[in-house]
């Protein structure tokens, strides 16, 4: 499992222009059961995505399709972790 930390490197005006395309990217990966949850950081300096992927290479392939990355509006930090404890109902995400 991976925590993807997005850091905006473009002005919020550019981010706003890309939000519809970014949401289509998110929805595509929710349908593929790759994304578990996502949202903006507070304050709005980037975002967080909880990603269920086989390995870091798959994560890189997934995020390569994000308009935020394609148009150099955000940078990604990829953090891999192994869940050892989790809330009831979350087990379907743990491989």
69 phi and psi angles, rounded to 5 deg: -80, -45
- Please give the model's pTM, rounded to 2 decimal places: 0.93
**How many residues appear in the chain?**
95
Neighbour count for residue 45 (Cβ, 10 Å)? 12
Instruction: Write out the chain's pLDDT in tens, 95 residues.
Output: 999 999 999 999 999 999 999 999 999 999 999 999 999 999 999 999 999 999 999 999 999 999 999 999 999 999 999 998 888 888 888 76
Domain definitions of the chain by residue range: 2-82
Name the CATH superfamily, with its identifier, for domain 2-82. Answer: Dimeric alpha+beta barrel (3.30.70.1060)
């Amino acid at each position: 499992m991976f925590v993807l930390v997005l850091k905006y490197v473009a002005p919020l005006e550019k981010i706003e222009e890309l939000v519809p395309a970014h949401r289509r990217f998110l929805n595509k990966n929710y349908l593929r059961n790759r994304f578990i949850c996502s949202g903006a950081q507070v304050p709005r300096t980037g975002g967080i995505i909880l990603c269920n992927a086989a390995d870091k290479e798959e994560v890189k392939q997934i995020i390569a399709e994000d308009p935020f990355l394609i148009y150099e509006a955000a940078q990604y930090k990829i953090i891999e972790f192994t869940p050892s404890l989790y809330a009831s109902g979350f087990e379907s995400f743990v491989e």
